[in-house]
C-alpha cells in the first residue's frame, strides 16, 4: 500500500513546499476504519524530499528485513539510520506491506 503526502502546492507565482512532519507508525498501521476489514501494515520504505520546492533531491529509507535495520539511500550512498530518524523525515511517499 502506498500513501502519498501532498507536500507541494503551486499558484500563479511560485511553488511552495509544506515541511510539516507527519506522524505515522512503523509497524501495525491499522486501516480497518478506511478499508472496512481488519488489516495491519508495516512500513518498508519511505521516500523523502529534501530542499526547496523548486529544487532539492529525493532519497529513500528502507528496512532490511533480515536484520531489521533501516538504511537511508541517496544515489550510491547508503547510510545506516535508526528507526526514529524515519518518522521525523519530511516523508513524501510511504510504502507499507500487509
Query: How does pLDDT run along the chain (98 residues), one tens digit per residue?
Result: 999 999 999 888 888 999 888 999 999 999 898 888 888 999 999 999 988 888 889 999 999 999 999 999 999 999 999 999 999 999 999 999 99
> Range of 50's domain?
2-97
pTM of the model: 0.88
Closest CA to 44 of 63, 70, 24, 69: 63
Structural domains counted in the chain: 1
The pLDDT, as a whole number, for residue 60 is: 98
Distance from the first to the final alpha carbon of the chain: 8
At residue 98, the pLDDT reads: 92
Looking at residue 69, its pLDDT comes to 97
SS (H, E, C) 20-60: CCCCCCCCCEECHHHHCCCCEEEEEEEEEEECCCCCCEEEE
Neighbours of 63 (CB within 10 A): 19
Amino acid at each position: 500500500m502506498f500513501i502519498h503526502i501532498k507536500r507541494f502546492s503551486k499558484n500563479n507565482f511560485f511553488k511552495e513546499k509544506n515541511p510539516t512532519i507527519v506522524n505515522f507508525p512503523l509497524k501495525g498501521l491499522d486501516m480497518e476504519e478506511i478499508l472496512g476489514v481488519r488489516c495491519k501494515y508495516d512500513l518498508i520504505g519511505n521516500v523523502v524530499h529534501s530542499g526547496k520546492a523548486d529544487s532539492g533531491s529525493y532519497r529513500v529509507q528502507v528496512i532490511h528485513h533480515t536484520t531489521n535495520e533501516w538504511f537511508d539511500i541517496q544515489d550510491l550512498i547508503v547510510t545506516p539510520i535508526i528507526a526514529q530518524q524515519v518518522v521525523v523525515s519530511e516523508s513524501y511517499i510511504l510504502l507499507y506491506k500487509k
